[in-house]
């Protein structure tokens, strides 16, 4: 359907600012600063709406937010003026009327490849991949992947059956990755027409056959634009790296306090440096021994280091799958949001941490970008 | 009775705050409709997209959207095909409702 518009105040980030986009259970928050990252301004948006993910499209200076209501379903919100005003869309962002499955929540909105102007992708629950060719105004289901639901070994994870990760290969506009819980990771090499599961080497101990082709509970996946053939994955069953676009995965969990966790992020300038936030499995899902910690590897997962300087003890916190991100500043910043409503950040690659804000609703997502225009 | 033969009359519709803000609607809208489904269609024509907030693409009411016609839950009547009388009140109530942001009134709670 067509868009609605809502205003939300006059404060907005300027060109060159670092923009931190925080999605929570009850709304979205924007924080922005210069590269010093000492003084932050903020604005609030979509209050009362669960915001699962946000993203920034540098091609068009657009902020996207995936918002949903338990009652009224999901929408894509779009702002072209730094959050001053928003338009909302959902035309075509559901499965065909004759199907039983329905989109009840939007889990991801990601800008498309630089060579595909207007293209934006969305991931949903119930799991589906949707594509817009007009910057989010209209959507169509990606049949090549969505139709596999009927044949592959898919089942809901703790968050439902959801498509939560969409990655673009910056060197090839036809190569797209999607990750689904609990189905596993998929890759398309033809612009989304056909998809193949890429889960070899990933454990699925909860399945009758522990090494199935699909059915894996991937929690988050990422790639670095300078080395797009290498993927990292935080899975329900461990932390993994693939050096061949998902063809084979290597377990790199050794050295972490737990195989279990949700989010992960890659250093903005060093593709070998990756951050994780391991949690105690399985029903506990809080920081081991109540010590808030981010873990960092500088060598592709061969060794891991606990980062706790400035992070609280006695903190039985959970960090959800989209709630960690890095910024593009010269000294790479790292941002972590918790279900307790905290937003911690580091301005020195994770060596030291401080609070950016407290007392938010439970944080569901954190994304960071540099604003290209005011 | 065919749809064409149904008398279309003005009814009063109370819109919940969460979607009222989204579409710039008033707390109470008046539409011409003979059935609850027609109310949803009329609201969607006035506020494009609002229909999908209330009804799924297959034509079913969303699970947690409750609609009362003159105080009666349409699930106890004829669902979306429930007939309306002139001047009746249609109330849309989200299941996860409660709380009141407005100042206390004589009938409010403290």
Q: Domain range for residue B90?
A: 3-94
Q: Is residue B10 part of a domain?
A: yes
Q: Is residue B101 part of a domain?
A: no
Q: What is the mean pLDDT of residues B62-85?
A: 95
B54 in reach of chain A (CB within 8 A): yes
Mean pLDDT of chain A: 93
> Which residue among A49, A71, A75 sits closest to B96, beta carbon to beta carbon?
A71
Question: Rounded to whole angstroms, how far apart are CA atoms A57 and A356?
Answer: 24
> Minimal Cα distance from A137: which residue of B?
B49
Residues B24-60 have pLDDT tens digits of 999 999 999 999 999 999 999 999 999 999 999 888 9
- Residue B47 belongs to a domain with what CATH number? 3.10.20.30
> Is B110 within the bounds of a domain?
no
The reply to whether B103 falls in a domain is no
Cβ contacts of residue A354 below 8 Å, gap of 6+? Answer: A310, A344, A345, A346
Phi and psi of B80, rounded to 5°? -65, -20
What's the domain count of chain B? 1
- Per residue in A167-192, pLDDT (tens digit) is 999 999 999 999 999 889 999 999 99
Taking only the tens place, the pLDDT of each residue in A203-254 is 887 777 777 888 888 999 999 999 999 999 999 989 999 999 999 999 999 9
B53 touches A at CB < 8 Å:
yes
- The yes-or-no verdict on residue A256 having pLDDT over 70 is yes
**B73 domain residue, yes or no:** yes
Task: Find, among A228, A145, A225, A220, the residue nearest to A187 by Cα.
Answer: A145
Q: Which two tokens stand for residue A10?
A: 């006059």
Whether residue B107 is contained in a domain is answered as no
- Rounded Cα–Cα distance for residues B62 and A252 (Å): 44
Neighbours of A88 (CB within 10 A): 22
CB distance B58–A102 less than 8 Å? Answer: yes
Residue at B23 is within a domain: yes
Hey, what's the torsion of the CAs at A36, A41, A47, A53, to 10 degrees? -20
Q: Which of B25, B52, B93 to mutate to test the interface with A (most CBs of A within 10 A)?
A: B52
* Chain A residue with minimum CA distance to B50: A1
CA distances from residue A46 to A14, A280, B23 in whole angstroms, order as listed: 21, 32, 13
Q: Give the minimum alpha-carbon distance from A78 to chain B in angstroms, rounded to a whole number.
A: 13
Within a domain: B62: yes
């Amino acid at each position: 359907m067509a868009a609605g518009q809502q205003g939300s105040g006059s404060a907005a980030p300027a060109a060159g600012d670092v923009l931190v986009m925080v999605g929570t259970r009850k709304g979205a928050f924007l924080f922005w600063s210069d590269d010093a990252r000492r003084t932050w301004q903020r604005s609030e948006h979509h209050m009362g709406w669960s915001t699962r993910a946000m993203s920034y499209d540098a091609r068009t200076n657009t902020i996207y937010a995936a918002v949903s209501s338990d009652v009224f379903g999901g929408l894509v919100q779009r702002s072209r003026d730094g959050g001053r005003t928003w338009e909302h869309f959902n035309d075509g962002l559901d499965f065909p009327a004759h199907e039983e499955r329905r989109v009840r929540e939007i889990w991801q909105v990601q800008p498309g490849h630089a060579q595909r102007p207007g293209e934006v992708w969305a991931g949903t629950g119930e799991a589906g991949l949707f594509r817009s060719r007009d910057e989010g105004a209209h959507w169509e289901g990606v049949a090549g992947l969505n139709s596999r639901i009927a044949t592959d070994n898919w089942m809901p994870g703790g968050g439902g059956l959801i498509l939560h990760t969409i990655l673009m290969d910056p060197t090839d506009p036809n190569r797209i990755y999607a990750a689904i819980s609990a189905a596993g990771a998929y890759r398309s090499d033809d612009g989304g027409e056909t998809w193949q599961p890429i889960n070899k080497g990933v454990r699925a101990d909860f399945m009758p056959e522990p090494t199935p082709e699909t059915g894996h509970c991937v929690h988050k996946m990422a790639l670095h634009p300078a080395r797009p053939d290498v993927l990292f994955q935080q899975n329900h069953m461990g932390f993994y790296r693939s050096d061949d676009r998902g063809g084979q995965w290597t377990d790199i969990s050794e050295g972490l306090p737990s195989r279990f966790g949700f989010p992960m992020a890659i250093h903005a300038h060093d593709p070998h440096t990756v951050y994780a936030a391991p949690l105690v499995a399985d029903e506990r899902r809080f920081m081991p021994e109540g010590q808030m910690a981010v873990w960092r590897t500088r060598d592709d997962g061969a060794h891991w280091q606990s980062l706790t300087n400035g992070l609280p003890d006695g903190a039985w916190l959970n960090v959800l799958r989209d709630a960690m991100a890095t910024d593009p500043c010269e000294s790479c910043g790292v941002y972590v949001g918790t279900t307790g409503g905290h937003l911690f950040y580091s301005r020195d690659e994770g060596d030291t941490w401080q609070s950016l804000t407290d007392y938010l609703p439970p944080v569901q997502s954190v994304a960071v970008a540099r604003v290209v225009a005011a | 009775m065919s749809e064409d033969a149904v008398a279309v009359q003005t009814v009063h519709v109370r819109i919940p705050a969460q979607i009222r803000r989204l579409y710039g609607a008033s707390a109470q809208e008046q539409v011409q409709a003979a059935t609850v489904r027609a109310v949803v269609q009329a609201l969607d024509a006035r506020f494009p997209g609002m229909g999908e907030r209330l009804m799924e693409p297959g034509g079913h009411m969303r699970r947690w959207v409750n609609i009362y016609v003159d105080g009666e839950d349409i699930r106890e009547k004829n669902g979306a095909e429930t007939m309306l009388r002139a001047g009746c009140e249609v109330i849309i109530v989200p299941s996860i409702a409660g709380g009141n942001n407005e100042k206390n009134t004589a009938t409010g709670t403290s």
